[in-house]
Chain A
Amino acid sequence: MSMTLLKGLRALEIGTGTKAGFCGKLLLDAVAEVIRVDLPDSAETAQFSPWLDRGKGSIVLDWHISEGLDLLRRLFEQVDVVVTDVEDAGERAAIANLAAEQPRLVLTSLSDLGERGPFAQRPSSDLVVSALSGMCYINGEEGRLPLREPGNQTAIVAALAGFMGALAALIDRSQSGLGQAVEVSALEGMVNVLSPSVLQCSYQKGAPFRRQAADGFLFDCADGKVSIIISSQRSWETLLEVWGIVPDPAEAHRFTEKTRRTNMDAIRTLFAPVLLNKTRKEVFEDLCLLRVPCGMLLNPAELPFDEHLLARGSFDSLSRSSPGAPAGPFPGPGFRVAGQLPAAERCLPRLGEDTARVLAPLAREASAT
């Protein structure tokens, strides 16, 4: 049984950003049909991402002119969901107006900073959203470089929020018969993700503050680093017992439940004789069996070859999706049904390859009316 969650659902993706691209990918991962719409003037610049776009359909349509806009209107009649991250306010309004004509349509509109309000017209980027949301401040060490999460993760958070909003609207439609517009901003999405820190700031007057050390619970071992979470007393006592470590009683005040977090260098010294004689895998497996949370520090390049991820088929088997296409394999979605993932083989579309198939019947219909 393969995953068929959204089989039969049809979606359009309008926009070239990661927000719409990843939201479309999520719909595709849940087995909806997703067609990306590009403007003709993007023919030279549009690049399909083997990560985001494989498996999507592609049409080229100039919806800036009236005939094209009419075809887009007819296309809207035939789909369940439209996802867009266009930035131009005029384009966004045109899409919203068309969507409003279709009472059953769900329009998911994704922006960086919101469609209204004092920041709505500000130029933006993933880094700017990350800086505005508090994420950069929280990452990194006090007095040193604030950091965003690697890659365009604010866009992906917005895409996940848009996916959720679209699905919630579809569930509502099954009750009411009506679609609706859904708005998501990456800034709001990131602030939502940071809900614990937001509430901490209110409860604890200004916290969280920047950290003294950002390598957290990372420890050196024979072939790299491992993360060992020693905040709970049970984990701490288990490690001392299993590794036969007896801290100097004069130093005991540095290793209490309350003080361990601020004495990580002393703990690293304490653990080093044991850890430097073990590999990451040995430490990981030993500690997980003892129910002490532990993780290996892995280079992403190692992930497709990790035994667990290999066994689960977490990466697609595709090394090259088309001649000349770079890289891969690519990670699959974050969810599956009954252990199943969507079909692995997906091709990267050629720009406009579905234009005739999708639009010709609509054009005939238009000329007939």
Chain B
Amino acid sequence: MTRMPLEHIRIIDLTQAWAGSYALQLLADFGAEVIKIEARSRPDPWRGGFEASRGLPCYPTDGPGERPYNRSYLANSVNRNKFGITLDLTTSEGKSMFLDLVKTADVVSENFTPRVLHNLGIDYDELRKVQPSIILLSMPAFGLSCPYREYPGIGGTIEPMSGNAWLLGEERGGPQVSGVMYPDAIGGLNGASAVLAALVSRESTGEGCHVEVSQHEGMIAMLGEFFTQSGLEAFGRIGNRDLEFTPNGIYRAAGEDEWVAITVRDLADWERLTDCMNNPRLRSPGLRSVQERRSREDEIDVAITVWTSGQSASDVEEQLVEAGLPAARVRSMSDVLACPQLAASGYLELAAQPEGIPPAPTPGIIANLKRTPGRIRMPAAGHGEHSGAILGRLLGLDAASLSDLEARGIIGAGPPPA
């Protein structure tokens, strides 16, 4: 086995749900030793709670099982390659053990509102006292400063606050939110990026720092292209249309809820499309430039839909790709799991799952380092699964001490003792 780029990095992780957990999974994928800490009495909300959740249908089809909190696809999708321990940070013993862990670590991560770390007495200044070169990643929804700093936020509220929901939607329809809490994932990408940049910096300066990711700002940064338009009043829903290419759309095909995406990048693409459609009217000299096509975009879209709706999406895709045009049938997630490209690249791995769940196709490492690639090493940890092993190894606690801490509900797995 080749070594991985972050094998020498240890991260103490307090993040929860999607954004933070995903950021740390990305770092764990590159080889970092990530130790995720949850409260004994309050598991990561993406586990769905100790009892089977009624509001979050997140379990496999064969049911929640005896330990539903370890069988949530949500939690298990963003926590692989990590160790999982529990600690009660509101107790002096729990906090002391946490700080002892920080002494051995390179990075601490959290995604609470700013007051939480301060109230627990473990803010950046306190962490630096025990580990001067520590890097702290904070991922509050709205950042560490200014009016909204203490406001909670999740993907479903960041999306409208960032302008993304305003822009997402059919051209003549209302605003929409994405089908997943998408800004959480973007927050995760920014969180992992910020830690990596801080680690590069520390390699040369020897100094840690406090890096901050506002999920709100991270999502707004995705929309920079729209601010290149002249006049801010220009923002409007454009469906799948593009600021550069015309036509650029998704068109109905034969069959129920079947669609095909088509992009015309330039005049050559336009000629390829009209050839495939065998539509002389669209070959008129008045439609050769992007500006001309844009002025008649509705008419063009109708003509394309008339053509695509009489054929299967796969047939349209095949013809257009053969002709050299960017086109694709709209894939469901089941289709994605069967994607020949992802199979050929080995990107979807059949990865082990916890709690007796059969191995499942899982996205691989987000960037392929050719000499020292990351890899999937272990499934998502169960709640508190590695408490004894980690605290024994890193803090030297013996079996009797661990049993005592568990009996008092400071560490352990699953619901705390009554």
Binding site for B on A (CB under 8 A): 4-9, 18, 26, 30, 49-52, 108, 113-114, 116-120, 122-128, 130-140, 142-153, 156-157, 160-165, 167-172, 174-176, 178, 180-185, 187-189, 191-208, 210-211, 214-218, 225-227, 229, 231-233, 256-258, 260, 284, 288, 291-304, 307-309, 311-312, 314, 326-339
A144 to B76, CA, bound (A): 31
The proximity string for B residues 144-163 relative to A, scoring 1 for CB distances below 8 Å and 0 otherwise, is 11111011111011111111
Give 10 nearest A-B pairs by CB, closest first. A165-B367, A334-B218, A295-B157, A138-B179, A300-B163, A202-B360, A125-B263, A167-B196, A172-B5, A150-B167
Known: A5-B198, A136-B250. A201 touches B329 (CB 8 A): no
Let me know if B60 and A336 touch, CB within 8 A.
Answer: no
A231 to B191, CA, bound (A): 26
A43 to B185, CA, bound (A): 38
Find chain A residues with CB under 8 A from B197 CB.
Answer: 5-6, 30, 167, 335
Let me know if B345 and A160 touch, CB within 8 A.
Answer: no
Let me know if A197 and B331 touch, CB within 8 A.
Answer: no
Find chain A residues with CB under 8 A from B310 CB.
Answer: none
Find chain A residues with CB under 8 A from B219 CB.
Answer: 334
Least distance between B269 CB and chain A CB atoms (Å): 8
B339 proximal to A (CB < 8 A): yes
A176 to B372, CA, bound (A): 10
The proximity string for B residues 80-94 relative to A, scoring 1 for CB distances below 8 Å and 0 otherwise, is 000000000000000
Q: Which residues of chain B from 223 to 255 have any CB-CB distance to chain A below 8 Å in the complex?
A: 223-235, 238-240, 242-243, 245, 248-250
Let me know if A199 and B76 touch, CB within 8 A.
Answer: yes
Find chain B residues with CB under 8 A from A292 CB.
Answer: 152
Let me know if B217 and A211 touch, CB within 8 A.
Answer: no
The proximity string for B residues 190-201 relative to A, scoring 1 for CB distances below 8 Å and 0 otherwise, is 111110111111
Least distance between B113 CB and chain A CB atoms (Å): 9
Let me know if A295 and B372 touch, CB within 8 A.
Answer: no
Q: Name, among B59, B73, B212, B339, the residue most crowded by chain A CB atoms within 10 Å (CB to CB).
A: B73
Find chain B residues with CB under 8 A from A207 CB.
Answer: 333
User: Interface extent on B, as a size class?
Assistant: 35 or more
Let me know if A298 and B166 touch, CB within 8 A.
Answer: yes
Least distance between B276 CB and chain A CB atoms (Å): 13
Let me know if B160 and A149 touch, CB within 8 A.
Answer: no
Let me know if A339 and B232 touch, CB within 8 A.
Answer: no
The 8 Å CB contact of B366, one of A52, A161, A217, is A161
A220 to B365, CA, bound (A): 41
A160 to B26, CA, bound (A): 12
Let me know if B364 and A188 touch, CB within 8 A.
Answer: yes
Let me know if A339 and B224 touch, CB within 8 A.
Answer: no
Let me know if A208 and B164 touch, CB within 8 A.
Answer: no
A189 to B210, CA, bound (A): 27
Find chain B residues with CB under 8 A from A217 CB.
Answer: 156, 177
Let me know if B341 and A123 touch, CB within 8 A.
Answer: no
Q: Name, among B146, B164, B203, the residue most crowded by chain A CB atoms within 10 Å (CB to CB).
A: B146
The 8 Å CB contact of A172, one of B217, B263, B369, is B369
Let me know if A197 and B333 touch, CB within 8 A.
Answer: yes
Let me know if A182 and B370 touch, CB within 8 A.
Answer: yes
Given contacts A117-B341, A295-B156, A300-B232, list 12 more A-B pairs with CB under 8 A. A30-B197, A125-B248, A150-B164, A167-B196, A168-B5, A170-B200, A195-B362, A217-B156, A288-B151, A329-B227, A335-B194, A335-B218
B402 proximal to A (CB < 8 A): no
The 8 Å CB contact of B78, one of A196, A203, A311, is A196
A314 to B162, CA, bound (A): 12
Let me know if B177 and A216 touch, CB within 8 A.
Answer: yes
The 8 Å CB contact of A183, one of B73, B145, B159, B370, is B370
Interface residues of B: mostly helix, strand, loop or mixed?
mixed
B119 proximal to A (CB < 8 A): no
A161 to B186, CA, bound (A): 11
The 8 Å CB contact of B261, one of A123, A136, A195, A301, is A136
The proximity string for B residues 128-146 relative to A, scoring 1 for CB distances below 8 Å and 0 otherwise, is 0000000000000011111
Find chain B residues with CB under 8 A from A309 CB.
Answer: 216-217, 220
Stretch at the interface among B279-287, B320-328, B381-389, B408-416: B320-328
The 8 Å CB contact of B156, one of A187, A293, A335, is A293
A217 to B175, CA, bound (A): 11
Find chain A residues with CB under 8 A from B144 CB.
Answer: 339
Least distance between A311 CB and chain B CB atoms (Å): 4
A202 to B348, CA, bound (A): 12
Let me know if B145 and A339 touch, CB within 8 A.
Answer: yes
Find chain A residues with CB under 8 A from B260 CB.
Answer: 131
Let me know if B367 and A198 touch, CB within 8 A.
Answer: no
Let me know if A167 and B200 touch, CB within 8 A.
Answer: yes
Let me know if B166 and A300 touch, CB within 8 A.
Answer: yes
Let me know if A161 and B367 touch, CB within 8 A.
Answer: yes
**Which residue of B has the minimal Cβ distance to A301?**
B232
The 8 Å CB contact of A288, one of B152, B192, B261, is B152
Least distance between B367 CB and chain A CB atoms (Å): 3
Least distance between A279 CB and chain B CB atoms (Å): 15
B117 proximal to A (CB < 8 A): no
Let me know if A51 and B227 touch, CB within 8 A.
Answer: yes
Find chain A residues with CB under 8 A from B217 CB.
Answer: 309, 312, 314, 331-334
**Which residue of A has the minimal Cβ distance to B18?**
A196
Find chain A residues with CB under 8 A from B22 CB.
Answer: 195
Let me know if A164 and B209 touch, CB within 8 A.
Answer: no
Q: Name, among B174, B192, B363, the residue most crowded by chain A CB atoms within 10 Å (CB to CB).
A: B363
Let me know if A297 and B165 touch, CB within 8 A.
Answer: yes
Q: Which residues of chain B from 313 to 367 have any CB-CB distance to chain A below 8 Å in the complex?
A: 321, 324-337, 339-342, 344-345, 347-348, 357, 360-364, 366-367
A181 to B369, CA, bound (A): 6
A205 to B250, CA, bound (A): 26
A122 to B212, CA, bound (A): 39
**Which residue of B has the minimal Cβ distance to A175?**
B8
Q: Name, among B191, B203, B204, B372, the residue most crowded by chain A CB atoms within 10 Å (CB to CB).
A: B372
The 8 Å CB contact of B223, one of A52, A150, A194, A233, is A150
Let me know if B193 and A168 touch, CB within 8 A.
Answer: no
Least distance between A244 CB and chain B CB atoms (Å): 23
Known: A183-B367, A189-B366, A227-B156. A119 touches B224 (CB 8 A): no
Least distance between A349 CB and chain B CB atoms (Å): 16
B275 proximal to A (CB < 8 A): no
B41 proximal to A (CB < 8 A): no
Find chain A residues with CB under 8 A from B213 CB.
Answer: 334-335
Let me know if A171 and B160 touch, CB within 8 A.
Answer: no
Known: A147-B176, A203-B357, A331-B224. A123 touches B61 (CB 8 A): no
Known: A149-B164, A168-B30. A128 touches B327 (CB 8 A): yes
Q: List 19 A-B contacts (CB under 8 A).
A: A51-B228, A127-B250, A131-B250, A132-B341, A137-B330, A137-B331, A151-B225, A165-B369, A167-B193, A184-B367, A191-B347, A203-B59, A203-B73, A203-B357, A288-B148, A293-B153, A297-B175, A314-B214, A331-B223
A170 to B144, CA, bound (A): 28
